[in-house]
Structure 1
Amino acid sequence: MITGGTTDGDSHRARKARSRQLEVYGVGSGKKEDVPILGFGPQDLEGVETPHNDALVISAVIANYTISRVFVDTGSSVNVIFKKAFDQLQIDEAELQPMATPLFGFTGHEVRPLGQIRLAISLGTEPLLRTWLTFFTIVDAPSAYNVIMGRPALSAFSAVASTYHQKVKFSVGDQVGEAQGDQLASRRCYVDMVHTDSRKLRRTQAAEVHLVREAHTVAAMEDKELLQVRPNCPESAVQVAADLPPALKEELGAC
């Protein structure tokens, strides 16, 4: 789950203004359209391997490129394109709009986006294909996914997602379009993410051990001093404990 970003504005002032607007005009007061009911039934499990707890990973066309490993995340406040995938779209980074608001993952770590850009995303297949323009946040971070399709895109499509049925459904006029999940891709992404997190954890642990060893080495050196055993022979200097009693130091020096 990702929070933050430009949801309802890219500044605290803009978000407060958006909240006041919702209070004045109310939520859901817009004109209702005649749309089909988006539901799921046993027929939607055809081709789905059950039982399962796979994440919903689909393919979508973004900026005229078919992109796989699109993670449908109803908990994310932004749509994300990871930089490795963004680079393949051959879009100049100069077209990115700056973002002042950082993103936060479920661990609470802050990520500063490279910027945001409005792109066309298409779901479904002809004749039940639908395209919308929506904002994507570009993030330079390791991920098994290419794209995270969050609440902004789902809301733009008025889409309903079901991880159990491995589908996203949306209206296309008075009909229902759908994007099918890829369970194999979902499981591969899961394995890749586990391996990535495991490598990051091992690197972190190795760095911490290295720092501890350095600290112990520095502390050990600070707790010792050189004692000249034979005054006329510099090579006779030895390390002794700094808190060694003076009498014992004299005895060692007299040997």
Structure 2
Amino acid sequence: MIQVYEATDVGLVRPRNEDCAVVFEPSTYVVADGMGGHVAGEVASHLLTDTVRRQLSGVAAIGEEELRQAVLAGNRAILDCEKENPDYKGMGTTATVLHLAGDEAYWAHVGDSRLYLLRGDSLRQVTRDHSYVEDLVVEGTITEAEARVHPKRNYLTRAVGVEADLEVDTGRFSVQQQDILLLATDGLMKAVDDDAIGEILRAGGEDPAAELIQQALAGGGRDNITAIVVVCGP
């Protein structure tokens, strides 16, 4: 038995919400954080989520390759839209997609939205951020704490809808009863650290997604915030 909680908020600073999230059968979850001038970020994130849903809805067997192809289809849709609408030039979006099939989880990812797995007391970041500061952290040039306040912390090295040749990260892992999965845009992680995220998920509140959003707003809400929490039964 799976319980799903979903919440999004424009935050306290941004004029519009450029995040988008969808949950659809079979057991598929998507978050996207759009970027671009005018309303282009909002257009890009919705194009990505709508395309992924169309690609995967009703598909009997979904694995890493199916998720990858769905994100690539979203990439093409955004690039095509940009060609037809010059005002949208430069738009793009992150994409983090999760699909559950029995005791297996499959994911695809581009950008700096994240997929987390909470198992017992341990919270693990499954995806790797495609960002300038993450590369510096991996190199050992800066620490995680320094990355959180780095002036280029919002600079992505990879996004959907920017180039025709897009590399999509994918993976799979086994899920267990009482595992909790979190998909979130970076508006959450900017305001709430991993320890606090883990505490909220472990607490088993009435609506953990809404509680994460409220915590991010209390932390300043400087960006749009989106979270999908998937709790694996019983």
- TM-score where L is the length of structure 2: 0.23
Highest RCO, 1 vs 2 (Cα 8 Å, sep ≥ 6): 2
Greater Rg by CA: 1
TM-score w.r.t. length of structure 1: 0.22
